[in-house]
Structure 1
Amino acid sequence: MNAYIFPGQGAQFSGMGLDLYENAPMAQDLFEKANNILGFSITDIMFEGSAEDLKQTKVTQPAIFLHSVILAKTLGDQFKPDMVAGHSLGEFSALVANGTLTFEDGLKLVSQRAQAMQKACELQPSTMAAVLGLDDAVVESVCASTEGIVVAANYNCPGQLVISGEIDAINKACETLKEKGARRALVLPVGGAFHSPLMEPAREELAAAIENTTFNKPNCPIYQNVTANAVIDEAAIKTNLISQLTAPVKWTQSVQQMIADGATLFTEVGPGKVLQGLVKKIDRTAGATSATLDTNA
């Protein structure tokens, strides 16, 4: 069975999407439509902007979404998913790819999500840290016993977990994790505590937007970050998508469940190859590849 997976924040790069724009008329149309929906020329920033320009929250999330979704649409008959999943932001790309959301609605939600998250970040200084080389249970235990808000946020693969929370709590937890034998406990250059209780204001804002958006019946299951299980019910998809901002990304568990349910080939659709690497670390026997542009689309 073919599983298609969609990357999240951090996969952006200068020049992203330009090959799609130059080689697929469908892509040109969709990029121009995106510029109109967003009210600024995101294509100028994607194609010609610096890495610093692409780091702006209002740019990063829509840019990765656009790269992923437009690439999926240019695949034509090649694109036949039996199941989909996306890492954090990538879940919105996956929901457009499996027909749950329209391109326009998906982009609007991603833009609203980015702005809501930015506002939440500005309310309280916070951050995230990558922890390598410890069992999940040890990391969870340290988070639970650390004073302040600090939680497990991204279960990326065995031995690689990202924690999220208040700056002081993250720093204290990192020290303890190193004492417990972590190979690394490294604070990340991010602007906030994503997938933690500190994103509650953003969750509330996004919830209103999601509730006012039409969700269609998907043409294949999505394995959502919050549950790590196959979901096809539109109401459940909405609920999980709203919960996602303050809940951990269960990527390891999602990939394991997709394999258990019959996935044999994982195709990453979008910028970078991060998810393929994680899939191979989760199960080295799984096939993993990148989607490539069909210039006839």
Structure 2
Amino acid sequence: MNAYIFPGQGAQFSGMGLDLYEKSPLAQELFERANDILGFHITDIMFQGSAEDLKQTKVTQPAIFLHSVILAKTIGDNFKPDMVAGHSLGEFSALVANGALTFEDGLNLVSQRAQAMQKACELQPSTMAAVLGLDDDIVEKVCAMTEGVVVAANYNCPGQLVISGEIEAINKACETLKEEGARRALVLPVGGAFHSPMMEPAREELASAIENTNFSKPNCPIYQNVTASAITDENEIKGNLISQLTAPVRWTQSVQQMVADGATHFTEVGPGRVLQGLVKKIHKEAETSSASLDSNA
């Protein structure tokens, strides 16, 4: 079975999407429509902007979403997923790809999500840290015993977990994790504590936008970050999307469940190859590839 996976924040690069725009009239039309919806020329920043320009939250999330969704749409008949999943932001791309959301609604929600997260980051300084070389349960235990807000945020693959929370609590947890034998416990250059209770203001803001958006029956299951299980019910999808901002991304568990449900090939749709690397670390036997307009993958 074919699983299609969609990357999240951090996969952006200068020049992203330009090849699609130049080669596909459909891609060109969708990019121009995105400029109109967003009210600014995101294509200029994607195609010619610097890495610094692409780091702006209002740009980063819509840019990655557009690259993924437009690529999926331009592959056309060759895009035949049996299941989909997306890492954090990538969940919105996956929901457009499997027909649960329209292109316009997906882009609007992603734009609102980016702005709500930015506002939440500005309310209280917070951060994230990558922890390498420890079992999940040890990381969870250290988070629980550390004073302040610090939680497991991204279960990326065995031995790679990202924690999220208040700056002081993250620094303390990193020290303890190194004492516990972590190969690395490194604070990340991110704007805030994503997928933690610190995102509660953003969750509240996004909840009303999601509730007021029409979701259709998807044409294949999505394995959502919050549950790591196959979901096809529109109301469940909505509820999980709302919970996602303050809940951990269970990527390891999602891939394991997809494999258990019959996934043999994982195609990454969008910028970068990070997810393919994670899939290989979770399940060595899995076949992986990147979607491409040229190869019609």
CA distance in 2 between partners of 1:253 and 1:197 (Å): 21
- The two structures, once aligned, show a CA RMSD in angstroms of 0.8
CA distance in 1 between partners of 2:76 and 2:239 (Å): 30
- CA deviations 1:107-135 (Å, max 9, x no partner) are 00000000000000000000000000000
CA distance in 2 between partners of 1:83 and 1:106 (Å): 18
- Sequence identity percentage: 86
CA distance in 1 between partners of 2:276 and 2:295 (Å): 23
The 3 A distance-change label for structure 1 pair 295 and 156 is closer
Matching residue's letter, 1:41: H
Look up the match of 1:245.
245
Matching residue's letter, 1:29: E
Instruction: Decide whether the 8 Å contact of 1:280 with 1:286 is kept in 2.
Output: yes
Look up the match of 2:45.
45
Give the 3-state SS of the residue equivalent to 2:120 in structure 1: helix
Aligned pairs (5 A) from 1:26-105: 26-105=26-105
How many residues align structurally? 296
Give the 3-state SS of the residue equivalent to 1:75 in structure 2: helix
CA distance in 2 between partners of 1:213 and 1:67 (Å): 22
CA distance in 2 between partners of 1:95 and 1:260 (Å): 21
Look up the match of 2:273.
273
CA distance in 2 between partners of 1:34 and 1:161 (Å): 34
Report how far residue 262 of structure 1 moved: 0.2
The 3 A distance-change label for structure 1 pair 124 and 161 is same
Unaligned stretches of 5+ residues in structure 1: none
CA distance in 1 between partners of 2:295 and 2:226 (Å): 36
Look up the match of 1:19.
19
Instruction: Decide whether the 8 Å contact of 1:4 with 1:269 is kept in 2.
Output: yes
Deviating 4+ runs (over 3 angstroms) = none
CA distance in 1 between partners of 2:273 and 2:37 (Å): 28
CA distance in 2 between partners of 1:140 and 1:200 (Å): 20
Unaligned stretches of 5+ residues in structure 2: none
Matching residue's letter, 1:82: D
Give the 3-state SS of the residue equivalent to 2:266 in structure 1: strand
Report how far residue 145 of structure 1 moved: 0.2
Report how far residue 295 of structure 1 moved: 8.7
- TM-score, length of structure 1 as denominator length: 0.99
CA distance in 1 between partners of 2:122 and 2:15 (Å): 29
Give the 3-state SS of the residue equivalent to 2:29 in structure 1: helix
Report how far residue 294 of structure 1 moved: 4.6
Instruction: Decide whether the 8 Å contact of 1:24 with 1:295 is kept in 2.
Output: no
The 3 A distance-change label for structure 1 pair 250 and 295 is closer
- CA deviations 1:210-256 (Å, max 9, x no partner) are 00000000000000000000000000000000000000000000000
Look up the match of 2:230.
230
Instruction: Decide whether the 8 Å contact of 1:5 with 1:268 is kept in 2.
Output: yes
Report how far residue 27 of structure 1 moved: 0.2
Give the 3-state SS of the residue equivalent to 2:272 in structure 1: coil
CA distance in 2 between partners of 1:14 and 1:292 (Å): 18
CA distance in 2 between partners of 1:242 and 1:288 (Å): 30
Report how far residue 99 of structure 1 moved: 0.1
Look up the match of 1:157.
157
Look up the match of 2:142.
142
The 3 A distance-change label for structure 1 pair 41 and 92 is same
Report how far residue 10 of structure 1 moved: 0.1
Look up the match of 1:126.
126
Matching residue's letter, 2:29: D
**Higher mean C-alpha deviation, range 285-294 or range 223-232:** 285-294
Instruction: Decide whether the 8 Å contact of 1:127 with 1:165 is kept in 2.
Output: yes
CA distance in 2 between partners of 1:292 and 1:20 (Å): 9
CA distance in 2 between partners of 1:172 and 1:294 (Å): 48
CA distance in 2 between partners of 1:37 and 1:160 (Å): 37
Look up the match of 2:220.
220
Give the 3-state SS of the residue equivalent to 1:284 in structure 2: coil
**Higher mean C-alpha deviation, range 115-124 or range 287-296:** 287-296
- TM-score, length of structure 2 as denominator length: 0.99
Aligned pairs (5 A) from 1:127-206: 127-206=127-206
